[in-house]
Chains A and B, each alone.
Chain A
Amino acid sequence: MGEQIVPSVIENYIGDRTHYMGITMSVAECGADFLKELLHDNAHIGECEEYFGKYLVSNHAHNILLIKHFMAYLEINNPTAIPSLEESFLKDIGVDTIYRYGIEVPISNKRKVLISLIELKNEKYLVEFIKKFPAYQSLMPML
C-alpha cells in the first residue's frame, strides 16, 4: 500500500504540520510499516515524532489501534520515548480505554495500567484485567 503513496507524500507535501499529522495518522491506522519514513525522513516537516505523539494523545487517544501501531513503531525506533508518552496518555483517557490499552497493546506497561485502574476505582475493569493477567494479582496489596 505505502510503497507508492508514502514516497509521494514525502516528496510532494508542502502544506502545514497539522494536515501532515492527519495523513500520518491515516497511515498509522493501517500499520506501523511506513511511520519511520513519515516521521523521520521528511525534510520539509522536520523531526515530528514528538509532535505526532502529542497529536495522538490530545486528539485520538481513544483510538487504540492507532496507539498500538505507534507504540510498535516507537519500540523499534525510539524506545526511550515510550514511558513519557504512556504517562501522558494514561492521564488523559477514560477507564475503558485504559483497560483496552492494557490488553490490546502488547508492549503496554501492565503495572502502570493496573495503577491507573486502581486510581479510577473501577472494579469491573480491574477484575477483568486481573483475569487476563493473573501474574499481576500479587501486586494488588502493594498498590
Chain B
Amino acid sequence: MELRQKDINRLETMFARECQIAIDTLAYHGMSEEQYATFETCLNTFIKYNDLKDFISGTLLSKIKEASRFFYPDKKENWFSFRKLVRLLIKFSDEESVDVFVSFLLTGRRPHHFFVLLEEMVSNNMNTASAQKVFESLIATHNYDLDIINKYMSVIKQDAYGFTKRLVENSHYGGLCRYIRTLGLDMDRKNCWVSRSFLLL
C-alpha cells in the first residue's frame, strides 16, 4: 500500500524529532558503539529524503558547533562523542557544512578540534585541500606553537620538507617564517633546559 504524502510528512517529522534526540544523547550522554552503529544505519536509510538530509545536516552542524565550545581532549568521554559527531557530520552533510565547520573551528582557535575533523576527513578519503589551506593561512596570525604544527604535519602525513614545500607553493611565506621561528624558539628552550640542568648538577 502506498503511503499518502500527509503520512510521509508525519513520519518525517517523527523521525526528525527522534534524530534530534539521538544527536543530543550522543553529544551530552555518549553512546555505546552498538547504539552508534544502529543510529548510523538508521541515518543511512533515511538520508535519501532531501528534507531529512537538510534537517539532519543542519542539526548536526549546530550541535557540533555547540559541543566544540566545551569538549576538550582532556575530557576523554566527551572527546569520543565529539569524534563520533564529526564522523556523522562528514558522512551525512555536504561539503559546504564541513567548510563552515572548518572556518568555525579555526577562527575560534580550536586547532585540536580541527585535527579531529581533519583526521576523519583523511580516513574517509575526502578532499582536505581547502581545510588545509585555511589552517596554513592562519599559521602566521594565530602564532601556533610547535606542538600544534607537528600534530598538523602528522595528520596530513608530511615531514618538514613536504610541509615547507606546501607553504612555499601556496605562497604562505608568513606562515613559513613563523614555523621557522617557532622551531628556533623551541631549540632555544631546549638549550635553556640543558644549561639549567647543568646548573642544577
Q: Which residues of A contact B (CB under 8 A)?
A: 1, 4-5, 7-9, 11-15, 19, 22-23, 25-27, 29-31
Given B162, B180, B183, B184, which contacts A23 in the complex, CB threshold below 8 Å?
A: B180
Q: How far is the CA of A11 from the CA of B168 in the complex (A)?
A: 10
Q: Would you call B164 and A5 a contact (CB within 8 A)? A: yes
Looking at chain A's contact residues, the main secondary structure is helix
Do A8 and B168 contact each other (CB < 8 Å), given the known contacts A29-B181, A30-B183? yes
Closest approach, in angstroms, between the C-beta of A29 and any C-beta of chain B? 6
Query: 13 A–B contact pairs at CB < 8 A?
Result: A4-B161, A5-B180, A8-B162, A8-B168, A12-B164, A12-B168, A14-B168, A15-B168, A15-B171, A19-B173, A23-B180, A29-B181, A30-B187
Report yes or no: A1 in contact with B183, Cβ–Cβ below 8 A: yes
Interface size class of B (residues with CB under 8 A): 10 to 19
Asked if B117 is at the interface (CB within 8 A of a chain A CB), the reply is no
Inter-chain CA distance A134–B169, complex, in Å, is: 53
Known: A4-B159, A23-B173. A13 touches B168 (CB 8 A): yes
In the complex, which residues of chain A have a beta carbon less than 8 angstroms from the beta carbon of B126? Answer: none
Q: Across the interface, do A8 and B177 meet the contact criterion of CB distance under 8 Å?
A: no
Return A25 CB to nearest CB of chain B, in Å. 8
**Using a CB-CB cutoff of 8 Å, which residues 160-196 of chain B contact chain A?**
160-162, 164-165, 168-169, 171, 173, 176-181, 183-184, 187
Q: Are A1 and B173 in contact (CB under 8 A)?
A: no
Residues in B neighbouring A12, C-beta threshold 8 A? 164-165, 168-169
Q: Report the minimal beta-carbon distance from A104 to chain B, rounded to whole angstroms.
A: 16
A-contacting residues of B (Cβ < 8 Å)?
159-162, 164-165, 168-169, 171, 173, 176-181, 183-184, 187
For the complex, what is the distance from the CA of A23 to the CA of B171, rounded to whole Å? 12
Q: Which of the listed residues A5, A11, A19, A29 has the most CB atoms from chain B within 10 Å of its own CB?
A: A5
Give the Cβ gap from B14 to chain A, nearest Cβ, in Å.
Answer: 56
**Could you say which residues of chain B place their CB within 8 Å of the CB of A11?**
165
A30-B180, A30-B181 are contacts. A4–B164 as well, Cβ < 8 Å?
Answer: yes
Q: Which residues of B contact A14 (CB under 8 A)?
A: 168
> What chain A residues lie within 8 Å of B179 (beta carbons)?
5
C-alpha spacing A14/B171, complex, angstroms: 9
For A25, the closest partner residue in chain B by CB is B177
What's the Cα separation between A4 and B171 when bound, in Å?
18
Contact for B181 among A7, A8, A13, A26, CB less than 8 A = A26
Chain A residue nearest to B184 (CB atoms) is A30
